[in-house]
Structure 1
Amino acid sequence: MIISRNWLQTYFDAALPDAQKIADDLLSHSFEIEGVIEKEADAVIDIDVLPNRAHDCLCHRGIAQEYAAINKLGLITDRYHYHENFTQESDMVHTDIQSPDQCFRYTARKISYITVGKSPAWLTQRLEVLGERSINNIVDATNYVMFDIGNPLHAFDADKVVGTITVRNAQQGEVFHALGGEEYELESSDLVIADEEGILALAGIKGGTKAEVNETTKSIIIESANFNPVTTRATARRLKLFTHASKRYENGITSEITPIALESASRLISDCAHADDITLHAVSDIYPNPERQCSVEVAHTHIEKVLGISLTKNEVEDILERLEMNVHEADGVYTINIPFLRQDIRIAEDIIEELGRMYGYENIPVQKLEDHAHQSVNPEVYVEHRIINFLIKRGFSELENYSFVKKGDQSVINPIASDKSALRKNLTKEMQAALALNTKQADFLNINTLKVFEIGTVYLKDSEQQVCTIAIEPLTKSARKRDGTSQDQLESLLTEMKESLDISIEPEFEQNMISFVLPNINTIDAHAFTELFKVRSYDDTDSYHSLSVYPYSKRDISLWAPEEYAEQQIKHIIQSAAGHILKKIYLFDTFTKEGRTSYAYNLIFQLDDDTLTDQQIENVMNAITKTLEKEGAEIR
């Protein structure tokens, strides 16, 4: 969620600090911060709002409330105002909900005699700093309210709406013409907003062209509603139509904010789209099953036990009241009325978490845990890590491939992609793909034998199994001559594994691989359990980066080194002369003759953003040669 610092300021009388300080406070108590970006006359904070807080914090109001609670500040609540001259009428829009299980609340209001045009500069700037494009004063007003208080809205041209506005399910195969010109064929599970002639909008996702607001519009109907998160998400995913509105609805919001959003938009539109005879009509509000406010009970002793600190009654009540919760205490038990916006708080532990983060986890002293009885060892974890350690110590690399594949015995109801529509029934297919990919990088990695394994779950028709697949692929004749064929090496490895781990294995051979179901282990050394997690194939000083997608080129160079130079110094000279396009230097031969030492290197060249040309490589090789000769080396 992108938050504007200047926008946030509109919630407070006191001047806020700079955006970085605001971000630091939020990071300490509420959210992960992706970054702070300074703008010309503003600054934005990129906040990682997780699904548990998307109900209330995908908007400026939610973030303002968090910041206010952290810093014990008051919020300005009356921020929207009507234009000083407007007329009110008692008639209202006719609306109907035919699918109350998919539309929890629907409110609408007609506003007549408006002027559609450019938004005022402040409104345009507010949206543009978030990366949003200004459309016109009506659309911008509805978008502003959504980003401000979290409830999406939509505006229809009232003169293009025929009869009653109905929230209903689409007819199978019914076509929806969306704003922007796209057409979508709908299913009967999709929810639409329609009049007596056709679809006005895809509920909770996007408006349609039938009642589009443009510069000729004189009267509008504003819609503010709350839709089922599950069906909204299902429709958005199936149509691949993701919008700011669908993101908020699919995470779930409270229906209690729906009329507040409508009233806020009405006030804003009366001001920024004002005409002399502007008229606000009465609100139509259908709310079949009103939400009941949730309350949670938690004992003071339970709070202190879980957090490991002592809190006074006043401290508990102060924190919860800052979070806009109504608190009543009796006999050491708090009864807390939860704000409708906070749909993430439903049990006592949720309340304790709120207290802990607002108190500040950094303020909770570290305490040594009491000695506790030895816990039993999970045999599946034990055998899995013993196999992992056995293979890593013998130079194998562990793979982690996707469980989702194109074809398998078990299908996925809502696949994330067409090639991930099933669950894997073996590990071998993906491992073959990994072997092929790494074979292409063999020179880059300076390996002549690929040794990899994976331990993971496979999904058969009637069961799941934990399987280990191991592959050995000699890449050169010398490797095969030295170590034997894939099958020779695998058979030898299996024999050693059985003896070393004292396990029984029934392997299946497939070309250069073997697979077996993880066995039951005969003995468990409980005292050595923690040692299982200490075997690593890397050092703490190692760093990692992605491989370039562009091809690499390999060159060799051999030289007689000057007497006073060690091998590492020669490498440094070569790297310095070559610059950033020399990615790897591998020593592949060295010998001494008549008091002189010869070194031979493989040089791997590659660019991160383009394909190398032969001329570029030739120029670098010439530079390396000249530099080495200048240092006294003799090129062989």
Structure 2
Amino acid sequence: MKFTLSWLKDHLDTDASLDQIIETMVKVGLEVEEVIDPSEALAPVTVGYVKHAEPHPDADRLRVCKVDTKDGEMQIVCGAPNAREGIRVAYAPVGAYIPGIDVTLSKAKIRGVESFGMMCSSRELELGDDHDGIMELPEAEVGTPLADVVGPLDPVIDFEVTPNRPDTNGVRAIARDLAAEGLGTLKPLEVPEVEASFDQPVTVITEAPDACPAFGALTIRGLKNGPSPEWLQQRLKAIGLRPINMLVDVTNFLSYDAARPLHVYDIKKLNGGVHARMGKVGESFEALNDKEYAVDETMCVIADDENVLGLGGIMGGTSSGCDETTTDVLIESAYFDPLTIAKTGRKLSLTSDARYRFERGIDPASIEDGLKRAAAMILETCGGEASSITIAGTPPVEEKTVSYPPAEVTRLTGMDVPESRQEEILSALGFEVSRGGTWDVKVPTWRPDVEGKADIAEEVARVHGLDNLPTDVLPRLGDAPRRQPALSEIRADAARRACAGIGLMEAVTWAFTDEEGAARFAEQPKEIHLLNPISSDLSVMRPTPLPNLLLAASRNAARGAESVRLFEVGGAYTDNTPKGQRTVATGLLWGAGVRDWQGSTDEPSVFDAKAAALSVLEAIGAPASRLMVFSDPLPGYHPTRSGQLRLGPKNTLARFGELHPSVAKAYDLPGRTAIFEVELDAVPPAKNKGATKPALGLPELMPVRRDFAFLYPAEKPASDLVKAIQGADKALIDDVRLFDVYVGKGVPEGQRSLAIEVVLQPNKETLTDKDIEAVSARIVAAAEKQGGSLRG
């Protein structure tokens, strides 16, 4: 919300300085964001006098001027058509900032001629729109600050309107708060009585009392539309609004002056009466922003007997807009339901100053005053004659009285505010006080935020000054008890460390995702669909973090990343019950890996995904050696390059594999993408073995390593062979590792060669050749029993 200092003083009689006003606004809870003081921007600019001007030797349109300035005689090259001898100009020296062109001046050489500074136009100094030539100033001494010559410049104050104070969308409410704090006196608001020369000729009806409880209207005929007065145009320009014509400028002015949005219709463009009603499916209109909007039965529209004219309380339409040919107008001053306005604006993604004010709540008692003030301003400038005022419906003016004990402010804040001061503050804010043991305080209609006695106490406290709050030293507390972290927290932390340890970077994404992305990995029960999503692409609770990680990887790839390694530890959702939320550690590997000594790289594969999943499982205490691998197809995963790690046939601890090619294409991820998901909650807790740690038991003898190559059926999982060998001699075999797979020349069709390393760990005595041969024989026998044969 922006306003100028002179605008504020239209309502507040005060001699306070700008700094005092800003300080007091902050004190009473009006958070000032920025103050723009034009005089500060113009501080370096002074009056100069052109002593001599001659054509530039190398440019027909340029002139070389000798200018008397506060810095002495300066040479300035200027291209303005009115640059000539004998005029006083706005001189900006080297180093000055010119706001209109966003340039800091420096010494320049223009077509070979040096130029020191600049003679400015009004647009370049943001003092007007004239850019046809440099400013020609009245008689003034050289070196006089420009601000002293062009007259007082109006500072602009920009502050943040808090949701609980919709009345401060108007300048008068700000003046009222400052007057209550003692910074001046609130001037009476003059609402002129407009003489009615004829009865209202346009029928006005509200057919949607819930959405538009009251619709006021007044007609002016015989007017001549044109530019608004200079003072009004300057005010609108100062707050960033573009003056259009008197009819439009008046509505904008009153919207900011009194938080009273209005709208004006050209009567000659209407077909019959004006109706406030709910829209109908299939109706549409072209709004004043030159866009067409379709309406439905949830939206309040303003329509004539044939067409929709606009959205009530949000934006009018081009079909009934006013222009320079308009002579007869209907002024609308209505009250619209804030919730209806908010829903309509959000559904259509349509914002406006009117919507901003109506959806926060305006003064329902301001309908008639708004019409009178607008009509008086229009009649004064445009002429014409006014009709009587018609109000369809009943404004929802609520007579609200709050029982307020004066001691309440002390009870809630600790501040001791005398009763006389409390009454003074409340009266200045527009409340009517009836004193007694417990006061009856009548709430003004422009304060919808005041509901109970705590709100009254808040008004007293903020105006009296929250800097008067009593202070006290809190008693020193003992050390806070240390909480033992839950098992889920320990596992989540361990999973993060494990993922970071294998080179993945942590991502934190939304707990929501898009419906299409979620459907690629899991079914979507109705329970995980959001009733009120923050955007259309975040409409369901994510069944897995994978869609969000893939979006992040896709964004990185689109920006030139050659390798993406991401993980996230967070929630996944299957329904809306507590058991429907799981904690998963999810990872993604895409793009070239680390280059080897030859400069080549390998893309991630299913084995990288499995290794990463096992690393996380081991970190959180899962019995990795007892896990079984299943190859059931998984949604979103490659059908033949994926698997599941289970503890038993039903308890799935992890899923791993490569991304399905169709899913990879949907996310614009060329090549292979390895993914994994570890269910942290599915791992059974470790059995309590007591607080005493077992003996370390490091072996004293060196291990013995033996390599075997087995021919093994291609359709059988290699893990079955590894487990069979592991069980050949549980006392001596310490580890079994598959380190190579070969298919090709020398290997029968339908089989593959598996190279396996077996680590034998003696405990009592060094193994002899005979012992090793015996163990090897048992290993071969176990492999043959599983379907393998020792390769010759």
Query: What TM-score do you get using the length of structure 1 for normalisation?
Result: 0.69
Secondary structure, counterpart of 1:51 in structure 2: coil
Shift in alpha-carbon separation, 1:292–1:157, aligned structure 2, 3 A: same
Of the three residues 590, 594, 608, the one matched with 1:476 is 594
Output aligned runs, 1:509-528, within 5 Å. Answer: 509-510=655-656, 511-516=674-679
**Structure 2: distance between partners of 1:136 and 1:260:** 22
Q: Render the CA deviation track for 1:601-633: whole Å, top value 9, x for unaligned.
A: xxxxxxxxxxxxxxxxxxxxxxxxxxxxxxxxx
Aligned pairs (5 A) from 1:443-592? 452-456=567-571, 458=573, 460=575, 465=581, 467-471=583-587, 475-476=593-594, 487-488=610-611, 490-498=613-621, 507-510=653-656, 511-516=674-679
2:361 corresponds in structure 1 to 252
Q: Which residue identity does 2:391 align to in structure 1? A: D
Larger CA deviation: 448-457 vs 198-207: 448-457
Corresponding residue for residue 133 of structure 1: 242
In structure 2, distance between residues paired with 1:455 and 1:211: 54
Q: Alignment partner for residue 381 of structure 2, among 272, 289, 297?
A: 272
Identity %, equivalent residues: 26
Q: Cα distance 1:29–1:433, how it changes in 2: closer, same or farther (>3 A)?
A: same
The residue identity in structure 2 corresponding to 1:159 is K
Which structure shows the bigger proportion of residues in helix conformation? Answer: 1
1:46: which partner in 2? 158
Q: Indicate how the Cα distance of structure 1 residues 303 and 509 shifts in structure 2: closer, same or farther if over 3 A, else same.
A: farther
What RMSD, in angstroms, separates the aligned Cα atoms of the two structures?
3.9
Match of 1:347 among 428, 452, 456: 452
* Equivalence for 2:311: 202
Determine the structure 1 residue equivalent to 2:743: none
Q: Does structure 2 conserve the Cα–Cα contact (< 8 Å) formed by 1:383 and 1:518?
A: no
Matches within 5 A, 1:52-71: 52-53=164-165, 55-71=166-182
Cα deviation for residue 342 of structure 1 reads 1.1
Residue 439 of structure 2 corresponds to which residue in structure 1? 334
Q: Which structure carries more relative contact order (alpha carbon 8 Å, separation 6+)?
A: 1
Deviation, 1:246, is 1.5
Are the aligned partners of 2:553 and 2:564 in contact in 1 as well (CA < 8 Å)?
no
Residue of structure 1 aligned with 2:541, choices 414, 417, 423:
423
Say which SS state the counterpart of residue 223 (structure 2) adopts.
coil
Alpha-carbon distance between aligned partners in 2 of 1:252 and 1:36, rounded to the nearest angstrom: 27
Q: Which segment drifts farther, 164-173 or 89-98?
A: 89-98
Q: In 2, distance between residues paired with 1:174 and 1:34?
A: 41
For the pair shown, which has the larger CA radius of gyration, 1 or 2? 2
Q: Which residue of structure 2 aligns with residue 294 of structure 1?
A: 400
Partner of 1:401: 509
Check 1:513–1:135 CA distance in 2 against 1; reply closer, same or farther (3 A cut). Answer: same
- SS at structure 2 position matched to 1:251: coil
**Which deviations, in whole Å up to 9, do the C-alpha atoms of 1:475-527 show, x marking residues without a partner?**
5268999xx9565455444444459xxxx9984344544344669999xxxxx
Question: What is the identity, as a one-letter code, of the residue corresponding to 2:177?
Answer: E
Structure 1 distance, partners of 2:620, 2:473, is: 40
Q: State the distance in 2 between where 1:284 and 1:195 align.
A: 16
Q: Measure the CA separation in 1 of the matches of 2:683 and 2:458.
A: 40
- State the Cα distance separating 1:472 from its structure 2 match: 7.5
Q: Which residue in 2 is equivalent to 1:117?
A: 226
Matching of residue 31 in structure 1 with residue 30 in structure 2: yes
Helix, strand or coil for the counterpart of 2:318? coil
C-alpha distance in 2 between matches for 1:365 and 1:418 = 49
Q: Residues 221 and 329 of structure 2 are in contact (CA less than 8 Å); yes or no, is this contact kept in structure 1?
A: yes
Any residues of structure 2 matched to 1:83-162 within 5 Å, and which?
88-91=197-200, 93-162=202-271
* Residues 163/489 of structure 1: CA separation in 2 closer, same or farther (3 Å cut): closer
Q: Give distance in 2, aligned partners of 1:451 and 1:239.
A: 37
1:427–1:458: 8 Å Cα contact kept in structure 2?
no
- Report whether the alignment pairs 1:185 with 2:315: no
- 1:543-587 Cα distance to aligned partner (Å, 9 max, x none): xxxxxxxxxxxxxxxxxxxxxxxxxxxxxxxxxxxxxxxxxxxxx
Aligned length: 505
Structure 1 unaligned segments of length 5 or more: list them. Answer: 523-636
Q: One-letter code of the match for 2:508?
A: E
Q: What per-residue deviation string (whole Å, max 9, x for no partner) do you get for residues 152-181 of structure 1? A: 111112233343222112222022233354
Q: Which residue of 1 aligns with 2:43?
A: none
Matched, 1:319 2:428: no
Could you tell me how far 1:103 is from its partner in structure 2?
Answer: 0.3
Cα separation, 1, equivalents of 2:432 and 2:681: 54
Q: CA deviation at 1:224?
A: 0.3
SS in 2 for 1:52: coil
SS in 2 for 1:103: coil
> How far did 1:439 drift?
8.0
The Cα of 1:251 is off from its aligned counterpart by 1.9
Distance in 1, matches of 2:454 and 2:683, equals: 38
- State how far apart, in whole Å, the 1-side matches of 2:486 and 2:469 are: 34
Counterpart AA for 1:9: K
Report the Cα offset of residue 38 of structure 1. Answer: 2.7
CA distance in 2, matches of 1:342, 1:149: 13
Q: Over residues 48-74 of structure 1, what are the superposed CA-to-partner deviations in whole Å (9 max), with x where a residue is unaligned?
A: 213222x21222222222333334532
Opposite residue 318 of structure 1, the aligned amino acid is E
The Cα of 1:187 is off from its aligned counterpart by: 1.3
> Aligned equivalents of 1:424 and 1:14: distance in 2?
58
**Alignment partner, residue 360 of structure 1:** 465
Cα offset, 1:262, TM superposition: 1.4
Deviation string, structure 1 residues 77-109 (Cα, Å, up to 9, x no partner)? 3356579xx763354642111110110211000
The superposition leaves residues 212-244 of structure 1 with CA deviations (integer Å, 9 ceiling, x where unpaired) of 212222221100001112222222222222211
Distance 2:506 2:462 in 1: 38
458-467 or 313-322, which deviates more: 458-467
User: Residues of 1 paired with 2:505 and 2:329: CA distance?
Assistant: 63
- Residue 343 of structure 1: SS of its match in structure 2? coil
* Deviation (angstroms), 1:416: 4.7
